[in-house]
C-alpha cells in the first residue's frame, strides 16, 4: 500500500488534490475546472480553428450525394448525417420532482442516439475520418476531383481501389461500429480491435458486414495499442487514432455549427444574457472534446461545457485535475474502469484533447451506473426516447449544476445567477437507437428494479 503512484504516495496526492479521496472511493463528484478561462477572443489552439471546421463541413457536403445514395435513411436529409434537438419538458419535470430542485431555464436533448448509419455520436467523427481517407486516396489516384458528384464512389471501380487499403481501429464498440460500417461500404478492408467491454451485438453486426473483429480480454487502452501496432506493420493501412486524431476531432466539431442552425431556427438566443449549458458524456474525450471545441469557437464565453464520466472511469477528470493528461490512468489510482456505460469505459484520457481544451472545459461530473439506469427509465417513460446507459451521463451535469455546492459556486463565479432564467441546457444523448430490442428491455427492467429499491430506501 505504500508503493508510489507516479512518484508520490497516495497521501501526498490527496494533499495536493483533496477530491482524490472521493474519486478513489468511486463517489460522485462535481469538479469545477480551476484553469477555466473566459476572454472573448482567446485563441483555443494555434493548431486548429474556425476554417478547419468549415473545411470539415464542406468535405461532408461533398460526400452528401454519396451518403444519400448508399444509406437511404439519409435521403430525407439529403445525405447530411444530423440528429434532432428536442425539448424534454416532461423529463425536466420528473427530475425536478425527484430531486426537489427547480432547474431554471429550458432543457433539451441532442439526439445523437438517433444519428443515421451508426446510431451514436461516433457517426460524426468516425465517419468523417473515413470519408477524408477515401477522398485523399481517390484524389491522389486522379480518379476524383472535388468538383465531381461523389456518388460515383459507389462503384466497383472505387471499391476495387479502396480494397487495396486496410482501416484499423481500437474501440469499446461504437467507434468500431461507425468505422466498420462506413469503411465496408466504401470497399476498404477493416479490422476492429474490440475491448472486453464491447457488446456482442456490435461485434456480430460488424462481422455480418465483412469486418474483421479482434476481441481483447483487456480494456480500451490495450485494444487501441494492439491496433496501432498492427497498423505500423502495414504501409497500406490507416489507423484511426481515437486518442490523438485531429480529423476525428474536427468531424465532431462540425456538430456545433449545425447546432447553431437548429437553435437559430427555434429562435433560441445564445449570448451573454442567455447562457448555453451543454453536458457531454466523455470516454477518451474526442467526441465531447470536438463538440466543445466547435461550440467554444461559435459561442465563446456564452457556452459552458461540462463533461460527464462514470465514477469507475473518471479518466478525463483525472488528467485535467492533475495536469498529467494521458500520463495518468484511473488504474494508477486503483480505480477499476469497470462500468455498464461501455462507451465511457476508458481508463486513460486523450492527451491531445485534455491539453487542447484544458482552459475551455468548465468542469467534469462523475456518475454512478445506477443513476444512468434510473434516468434511462425516466426518459423512456416521460419522452418515449430510449438511450444506452452511457448516453444518459449528461443528465448528471445539469442535475449537479443545480444541486451541488460546486455547481452553485460555478454560477456565482461566472456571474450567471441572474441570467439562469434565460438559460438553455442541452444534454447530449450520445447513443442508443441501434441497441437490439431485447437488450433495451433488459436496460429498462434494470431501471425499474433500481427505482423500486430507491423508493424502499
Ligand atoms: C464514444 C462514446 C462517448 C464518448 O466519446 P469519446 O470520444 O470516447 O469521449 C459517449 N457516449 C457514447 C454512447 C459513446 O459511444
Domain ranges for the chain, please list them: 10-47+74-117+249-455, 121-246
Pocket-testing residue among 430, 432, 434, ligand 1, by greatest number of atoms within 8 A of Cβ: 430
Residue 5: its pLDDT value, please?
Answer: 87
Residue closest via CA to ligand 1's atom 8 equals 283
Of ligand 1's listed atoms, the one at least distance from the Cα of 286 is 7
Distance 152 CA to ligand 1 centre (A): 32
> How many Å lie between the centroid of ligand 1 and the Cα of residue 418?
33
The residue written with cell numbers 470536438 in the block is 290
- Give me the pLDDT at residue 279, please: 99
- Could you tell me the CA-to-CA distances from 81 to 72, 260, 262 in Å, in that order? 11, 16, 14
Whole-number pLDDT of residue 41: 72
Query: What contacts 190, CB < 8 A, 6 or more positions away?
Result: 166, 167, 168, 169, 179, 180, 183, 184, 206, 210, 211, 212
pLDDT at 456: 57
Give the count of beta carbons closer than 10 Å to the beta carbon of residue 163: 13
Q: 117 CB contacts (<8 Å, ≥6 apart)?
A: 67, 71, 73, 74, 81, 123, 127, 178, 181, 182
Q: Ligand 1 pocket, 283 CB below 6 A?
A: yes
Q: What is the pLDDT of residue 3?
A: 73
Cα separation, 52 vs 33, in Å, equals 27
Q: Distance of CA 453 to CAs 368, 374, 441, Å?
A: 15, 11, 19
Rounded to an integer, the average pLDDT of 7-28 is 95
Residue 235 backbone dihedrals phi, psi, to 5 degrees:
-65, -20
pLDDT at 316: 98
Determine how many CB atoms are found less than 10 A away from the CB of residue 204. Answer: 11
Alpha helices in 210-306 (DSSP H): 220-232, 246-265, 286-299
For 432, the grid coordinates are 442508443
State the Cα–Cα distance between residues 365 and 311, nearest whole angstrom: 9
The verdict on the CB of residue 389 being under 6 Å from ligand 1 is no
What's the mean pLDDT when you consider all of the chain?
Answer: 96
**Helix, strand, coil percent content, the chain, rounded in steps of 5:** 55, 15, 35
- Say what the pLDDT of residue 42 is: 80
CB atoms within 10 A of CB 56: 27
User: 430 CB under 6 A from ligand 1?
Assistant: yes
pLDDT digit string, tens, across residues 174-230: 999 999 999 999 999 999 999 998 999 999 999 999 999 999 999 898 999 999 999
Options 2.30.29.30, 3.40.50.300, 3.40.120.10, 3.40.50.1100; CATH of 10-47+74-117+249-455? 3.40.50.1100
Asked if 242 and 350 count as a contact pair (C-beta separation under 8 A), the reply is yes
pLDDT for res 351: 96
Which of 181, 343, 348 is the pocket-test mutation for ligand 1 (most atoms within 8 Å of CB)? 343
**Residue 282 alpha carbon to ligand 1 centre in Å:** 6
Q: Do domains 10-47+74-117+249-455 and 121-246 have the same CATH topology?
A: yes
pLDDT higher than 80, residue 454: no
Q: For the residues 144-163, what does the mean pLDDT come to?
A: 98
Q: Is 347 in the pocket of ligand 1 (CB under 6 A)?
A: no
- CA nearest ligand 1 atom 11, residue: 430
Q: Measured in angstroms, how far is the CA atom of residue 105 from the centroid of ligand 1?
A: 26
Q: What's the pTM?
A: 0.97
241-244 long-range CB contacts below 8 Å, 24 or more apart?
242/169, 242/170, 242/171, 242/175, 242/284, 242/286, 242/350, 243/284, 243/286, 243/326, 243/348, 243/350, 243/351, 243/352, 244/350, 244/351, 244/352
Rounded to a whole number, what is the largest CA-CA distance in the chain?
68
* Gap between the Cα atoms of 451 and 377, Å rounded: 9
Give the model's pLDDT for residue 4: 86
CB 79 near ligand 1, within 6 Å = no
Q: How far is the CA of 374 from the centre of ligand 1 (A)?
A: 20
Q: Is the pLDDT of residue 298 over 80?
A: yes
CB 251 less than 6 A from any atom of ligand 1 = no
Instruction: Tell me what percent of the residues of the chain surpass a pLDDT of 90.
Output: 93
**183, 208, 316 from 192: Cα distances, Å:** 11, 13, 24
* 345 alpha carbon – ligand 1 mean position (Å): 9
Task: Report how far residue 164's alpha carbon sits from residue 188's, in angstroms, rounded to the nearest whole number.
Answer: 7
Could you tell me the strand order of the sheet in which 189-194 lies? Answer: 212-215, 189-194, 166-171, 237-240
Using the predicted structure, report yes or no on whether residue 2 has a pLDDT greater than 70.
Answer: no
Give the Å distance between the CA of 112 and the centre of ligand 1: 11
Mutate to test the pocket of ligand 1, among 109, 113, 122 (most ligand atoms within 8 A of CB): 122
Query: How confident is the model at residue 455, as a pLDDT?
Result: 63
Q: Measured between alpha carbons, how far is 181 from 127 in angstroms, rounded to an integer?
A: 9
Q: Count the Cβ atoms, other than its own, within 10 Å of residue 37.
A: 10
* Closest residue CA from atom 15 of ligand 1: 343
pLDDT band, very low/low/confident/very high, at 364 (cuts 50, 70, 90): very high
Q: What is the CATH number of domain 121-246?
A: 3.40.50.1100
115-125 pLDDT, tens digit per residue, is 999 999 999 99
Closest of 344, 284, 280, 343 to residue 319, by C-alpha: 284
For 306-315, the pLDDT digits (tens) are: 999 999 999 9
CA distance 240 to 139: 20
* Residue 304 phi, psi (nearest 5): -125, 115
Q: Is there a contact between 422 and 273 (Cβ–Cβ < 8 Å)? A: yes
Q: What percent of the chain has pLDDT over 70?
A: 99
122 Cβ closer than 6 Å to some ligand 1 atom: yes
pLDDT of residue 22: 97
| Torsion over CA: 443, 446, 451, 452 (sign) | positive
Distance separating the N- and C-terminal Cα atoms of the chain: 35
Which tens digits make up the pLDDT trace of 18-61? 999 999 999 999 999 999 998 767 888 988 999 999 999 999 99
**pLDDT tops 60 at residue 1:** no
DSSP string, 164-193: T-EEEEEESSHHHHHHHHHHHHHT-EEEEE
C-alpha–C-alpha distance, residues 399 and 95, integer Å: 8
Average pLDDT over residues 359-369: 98
Q: pLDDT by residue (tens digit) across 57-96?
A: 999 999 999 999 999 999 999 999 999 999 999 999 999 9
Amino acid at each position: 500500500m505504500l508503493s508510489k503512484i507516479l512518484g508520490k504516495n497516495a497521501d501526498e496526492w490527496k494533499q495536493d488534490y483533496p477530491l482524490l479521496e472521493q474519486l478513489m472511493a468511486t463517489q460522485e463528484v462535481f469538479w469545477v475546472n480551476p484553469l477555466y478561462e473566459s476572454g472573448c477572443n482567446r485563441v483555443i489552439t494555434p493548431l486548429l480553428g474556425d476554417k478547419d471546421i468549415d473545411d470539415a463541413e464542406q468535405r461532408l457536403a461533398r460526400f452528401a450525394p454519396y451518403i444519400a445514395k448508399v444509406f437511404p435513411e439519409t435521403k430525407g436529409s439529403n445525405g447530411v448525417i444530423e440528429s434532432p434537438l428536442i425539448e424534454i419538458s416532461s423529463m425536466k419535470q420528473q427530475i425536478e420532482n425527484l430531486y426537489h430542485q427547480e432547474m431554471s431555464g429550458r432543457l433539451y436533448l441532442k439526439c445523437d442516439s438517433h444519428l443515421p448509419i451508426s446510431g451514436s455520436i461516433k457517426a460524426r467523427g468516425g465517419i468523417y475520418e473515413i470519408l477524408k481517407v477515401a477522398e485523399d486516396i481517390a484524389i491522389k489516384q486522379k480518379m476524383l476531383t472535388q468538383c465531381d458528384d461523389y456518388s460515383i464512389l459507389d462503384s466497383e471501380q472505387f471499391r476495387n481501389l479502396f480494397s487495396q487499403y486496410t482501416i484499423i481501429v481500437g474501440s469499446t464498440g461504437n467507434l468500431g461500429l461507425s468505422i466498420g460500417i462506413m469503411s465496408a461500404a466504401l470497399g476498404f478492408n477493416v479490422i476492429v480491435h474490440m475491448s472486453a467491454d464491447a457488446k456482442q451485438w456490435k461485434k456480430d453486426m460488424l462481422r455480418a458486414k465483412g469486418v474483421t473483429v479482434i476481441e481483447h480480454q483487456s480494456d480500451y487502452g490495450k485494444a487501441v495499442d494492439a491496433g496501432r501496432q498492427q497498423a505500423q506493420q502495414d504501409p497500406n493501412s490507416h489507423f484511426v487514432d481515437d486518442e490523438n486524431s485531429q480529423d476525428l476531432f474536427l468531424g465532431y466539431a462540425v456538430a456545433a455549427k449545425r447546432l447553431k442552425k437548429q437553435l437559430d431556427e427555434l429562435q433560441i438566443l445564445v449570448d451573454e444574457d442567455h447562457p448555453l449549458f451543454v453536458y457531454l458524456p466523455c470516454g477518451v474525450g474526442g467526441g465531447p472534446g470536438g463538440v466543445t471545441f466547435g461550440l467554444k469557437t461559435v459561442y465563446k464565453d456564452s457556452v459552458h461545457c461540462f463533461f460527464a464520466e462514470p465514477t469507475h472511469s473518471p479518466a478525463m477528470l483525472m488528467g485535467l485535475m492533475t495536469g498529467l493528461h494521458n500520463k495518468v490512468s484511473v488504474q494508477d489510482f486503483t480505480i477499476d474502469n469497470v462500468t455498464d456505460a461501455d462507451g465511457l469505459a476508458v481508463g486513460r484520457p486523450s492527451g491531445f484533447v485534455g491539453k487542447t481544451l484544458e482552459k475551455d472545459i468548465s468542469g467534469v461530473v462523475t456518475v454512478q451506473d445506477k443513476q444512468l439506469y434510473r434516468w434511462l427509465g425516466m426518459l423512456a417513460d416521460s419522452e418515449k426516447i430510449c438511450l444506452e446507459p452511457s448516453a444518459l451521463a449528461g443528465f448528471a451535469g445539469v442535475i449537479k449544476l443545480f444541486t451541488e455546492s460546486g455547481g452553485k459556486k460555478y454560477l456565482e463565479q461566472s456571474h450567471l445567477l441572474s441570467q439562469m432564467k434565460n438559460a438553455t441546457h442541452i444534454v447530449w444523448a450520445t447513443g442508443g437507437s441501434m441497441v437490439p430490442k431485447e437488450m433495451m428491455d433488459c436496460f429498462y427492467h434494470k431501471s425499474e428494479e433500481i427505482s423500486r429499491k430507491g423508493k424502499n430506501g
